[in-house]
Structure 1
Amino acid sequence: MKFDDRPHDVAALGDGAQAESTFAALAAPLVDEALAQNASIHADATPESLHQLRVALRRLRSLWWAYRPLLDKAENTRQRALYRFLADAAGRTRDWDILLELLSGSNDEADASDRARDVPASLREARERALATSRETLINADIRNVLHDALASTSKELNTAPERHALQKFAAKRVRIAEQSLRKRMRKAARAKRADYESLHDVRKAGKRVRYLIEFFGPALADIRHDRTIRRLKNLQQCFGELNDVIASIALLRDNMNLFPSDDEARGALAFLKERRRQRRREAVRLLQKA
């Protein structure tokens, strides 16, 4: 099930909409999506369900970031850290899925090396162990009550605040701040050295935040060009996401070299991923230079 990224109820609120009263309309579908994907993981943890849970939790984290100026700072920080913790719990298994996908060549060009395609069963077993840990973490976190409580408490805080903010003005300012952060990170990444993957990763994170905020507040934004901006950000996110997937897979493989039948096979798989990293980095830098 793919996440519905259309704006939720914002357009129907009219020009007089307030940021505070809009929050629940934005957050509730994200909470529902996260809970649906969490239930799916416990029934049948496909790579897609794990990915979509992470996406829903990241979007929640971005929404709480958007509303940060209107919320208690300490509580907002705690909520966003919680969403990151839950996303990371699902992410540990998702990282194994990406590594296996890359090594099997299932999503790669036809000339992927035969050695890289021969994935040891021990790696698939490690993925299942990671899944068991992810499930246990999410169960113990009581994600349903945690998310519903967060939605209720934050909505109450906003709706009982003495001051009100026009949605259009508030949304435009938060999107503008996110865009400024993205441009700053893009400039830094453009000047970065070849081995500085962290700056490229920062561009990816900043780009996702801008995209999510535009999707949240789109109908309330005066800029009619936001559809084109979203398409550009999706292209950036895909390219930089593919680079990040390879980087994360290299780190995971290095931590589990002992799972390969021989040192030669482990080194062969690592060399394969390093070459893929070089290709993906070149593509990311090229896209960055065009932006």
Structure 2
Amino acid sequence: MSMNKRDKLRLPTRKRAPIKLKKDSEIYLPTYHFLKTEFQHARRHEKGLIRDDDTEFLHQYRVSLRRCRALIGMLGPIFYPEQKVMLQNDLKTCMQKTNALRDLDVYLDLMEIYFDAVEPQHHEGLSLFFNDLKDRRTAQFVAVTEWLDTPDYTQQCAQIAGLIDELEHKTTEAGKQPCLPAAKKSIWKRFKKTLTLCQSVGYANPDEHLHQLRISCKKLRYLLEYFAPMFPKKVIKDQIKQLKLLQDVLGVFNDSSVQITFLNQYLEALKPESKRHQAISHLLTATEKKHADHKISLIDHVNQYAMAAPQKSFEKLYRD
């Protein structure tokens, strides 16, 4: 990554959509402006991503695309079916193209933690492991930046922008409903799904169940943040704060789950007597122990969230 900080680019500041949410206005128009602004925000990260000034450019690029994709999915009825499917698929492609690079950035950020997790006699093997990850990262970075420079990517972005623009002039009957009932319905539906997932969490649950809960929490948070201007500021701020705390714990657990899968796959290609194999085996053991500890803490957090006050505040604000 570039070490020249003298002319380092700053991360773009998110701009507000020109049309604000109003309780009685039709839902399609502010949603169109939000999606248009958010997609433009994602694309403003491309220059920093290509210059490789900071891995946060890629991360925020992906966050904005994910936010668009989630909102389109949760407010699906305001889009025509073909329009929704095309938007979801194009945004999904942009995410998938950058998955491997983002994963490698995360692993490289954990370098110091990984070295602390194994005994010094395995540090040489771990150094070889990270040298390999750096080489992989270089190859993925080249692949991503070359893809961003292709006519296919330009055409895909133009199609996404065009499909979003269609919403300004062409929406379904659901798109003409007032913002307030649309907000209440979508938030309450997502909250019920999230709460159901919370209530079914137990020690025997596979990691995938907890991953689905994490995704549901993230979608609920996106809805709360989007519709926040229409509800009491303090209440919705508290709801987002409590949700974020749960989301953070779920994120740590999911990260270690992904790391275990990656380390197991990495081991398969190594000779058992090699220094890298020995180092990664010890790292895997340490990661699995930490993962198990995370699960105990996570289930406590989930149970606290499911049994606490958020349910009452959600019912009061969003349940018809």
Would the TM-score normalized by the shorter structure come out above 0.5?
yes
1:96 matched to 2:107: no
**Worse-superposed segment, 29-38 or 256-265:** 256-265
User: In structure 1, the residue corresponding to 2:224 is in which secondary structure?
Assistant: helix
1:125 matched to 2:135: yes
TM-score by length of 2: 0.78
User: In structure 1, the residue corresponding to 2:204 is in which secondary structure?
Assistant: coil
For residues 80-229 of structure 1, what are the structure 2 equivalents within 5 Å?
A: 80-105=88-113, 112-115=117-120, 118-120=126-128, 121-140=131-150, 142-157=152-167, 159-161=169-171, 163=173, 164-188=176-200, 190-191=201-202, 193=204, 196-221=206-231, 225-229=235-239
Q: Which residue of 1 aligns with 2:292?
A: 278
1:18 matched to 2:26: yes
Shift of 1:216: 1.0
**Worse-superposed segment, 135-144 or 238-247:** 135-144
Residues 223 and 186 (structure 1), Cα distance of their counterparts in 2 relative to 1, 3 Å cut: farther
Residues 245 and 47 (structure 1), Cα distance of their counterparts in 2 relative to 1, 3 Å cut: farther
Q: Percent identity?
A: 19
1:70-108 deviation digits (Å, cap 9, x = unpaired): 2122431332232222122222111112223334318x9
Q: Indicate if the aligned counterparts of 1:192 and 1:199 stay in contact, CA closer than 8 A.
A: no
**Worse-superposed segment, 208-217 or 67-76:** 67-76
Instruction: Give, in whole Å, the separation in 1 of the partners of 2:183 and 2:250.
Output: 26
Q: Indicate if the aligned counterparts of 2:210 and 2:250 stay in contact, CA closer than 8 A.
A: yes
In the alignment, residue 267 of structure 1 is paired with which amino acid?
S
Q: Which residue of 2 aligns with 1:46?
A: 54
User: In structure 1, the residue corresponding to 2:86 is in which secondary structure?
Assistant: helix
Shift of 1:186: 1.4
Shift of 1:209: 0.3
Give the alignment partner of residue 34 of structure 1, picking from 28, 34, 42. Answer: 42
1:121-155 deviation digits (Å, cap 9, x = unpaired): 12221222222233334444744553343233234
Instruction: Give, in whole Å, the separation in 2 of the partners of 1:210 and 1:246.
Output: 23
Shift of 1:3: 7.3
Unaligned residue ranges in structure 2 (runs of 5+): 1-9, 306-320
Instruction: Give, in whole Å, the separation in 1 of the partners of 2:151 and 2:301.
Output: 39
Aligned residues: 285
User: In structure 1, the residue corresponding to 2:191 is in which secondary structure?
Assistant: helix
1:70 matched to 2:78: yes
Structure 1 or 2, whichever has the larger Rg, is 2
1:287 matched to 2:301: yes
Instruction: Give, in whole Å, the separation in 2 of the partners of 1:207 and 1:105.
Output: 27
In the alignment, residue 266 of structure 1 is paired with which amino acid?
I
In the alignment, residue 288 of structure 1 is paired with which amino acid?
V
Shift of 1:200: 0.6
**Worse-superposed segment, 229-238 or 245-254:** 245-254
Instruction: Give, in whole Å, the separation in 1 of the partners of 2:203 and 2:84.
Output: 32
Residues 103 and 43 (structure 1), Cα distance of their counterparts in 2 relative to 1, 3 Å cut: closer
Q: Indicate if the aligned counterparts of 2:59 and 2:102 stay in contact, CA closer than 8 A.
A: yes
1:35-93 deviation digits (Å, cap 9, x = unpaired): 02222211116322221122111101112113201212243133223222212222211
Q: Which residue of 1 aligns with 2:314?
A: none
Shift of 1:272: 2.2
Residues 268 and 230 (structure 1), Cα distance of their counterparts in 2 relative to 1, 3 Å cut: same
Q: Indicate if the aligned counterparts of 1:53 and 1:90 stay in contact, CA closer than 8 A.
A: no
In the alignment, residue 166 of structure 2 is paired with which amino acid?
K
- Taking only aligned residues, the RMSD between alpha carbons, in angstroms, comes to 2.8
In the alignment, residue 85 of structure 1 is paired with which amino acid?
T
Shift of 1:229: 0.8
TM-score by length of 1: 0.85
Q: Indicate if the aligned counterparts of 1:61 and 1:83 stay in contact, CA closer than 8 A.
A: yes
Instruction: Give, in whole Å, the separation in 2 of the partners of 1:280 and 1:53.
Output: 28
Unaligned residue ranges in structure 1 (runs of 5+): none
